[in-house]
Structure 1
Amino acid sequence: MAKRAASTKRSKGGRPKPSAAKSTTQGKASKRRYSRSASDEVGSELHRAKRGTARTKSGAKVNSRNQAVAIGLSKARKKGKKVPAREH
């Protein structure tokens, strides 16, 4: 068997942990528009839509990815996560 290359350790959320050697704040700091937890909320709603278990408020089945994203963002807003306001 061939030896595998050393992989980065993954945190519970599935993202690689930042190493101490790398600095993430080089140059101008960029602000996140959406929090990571809001992104996870959208991802879980997309997963539910793919499985066919996602429902709208009225109980109708979610038919598109855009619907699933909108529902995920709405749930994130209700939980108080960092998400921009809706555009009307």
Structure 2
Amino acid sequence: MAKRKWSQDVTDHSDALDLDEGVFKQDDPKAIALSLKRSAEHSHRRKGTLLQSAMGMLTFYINRAGDNLSATRRQVLEKSKDELRAAFSKKEKRHASR
């Protein structure tokens, strides 16, 4: 049996967030961000804030992929971070106005 990387074990067995299949393969940064946001909002086993959980999964994926990410793919994923911050910012503004 081949030795598994710890990151693959985390991906396979972590129940912090249940991600939509193929979320990180999408081409639209906003779609990636909204999918991560939904996953964070529906998870009951997360640590930190919703934004921290969602951002953590995105950062984990980017770091795990490392040099295997093309410049274009990395750009899409990095833009997703901005979209994720914006998605949570809008939610906070709505709740503050109530």
Q: Compute the TM-score of the two structures, normalised by the length of structure 1.
A: 0.32
Bigger share in helix = 2
With a CA cutoff of 8 Å and minimum separation of 6, indicate the structure with the bigger relative contact order: 2
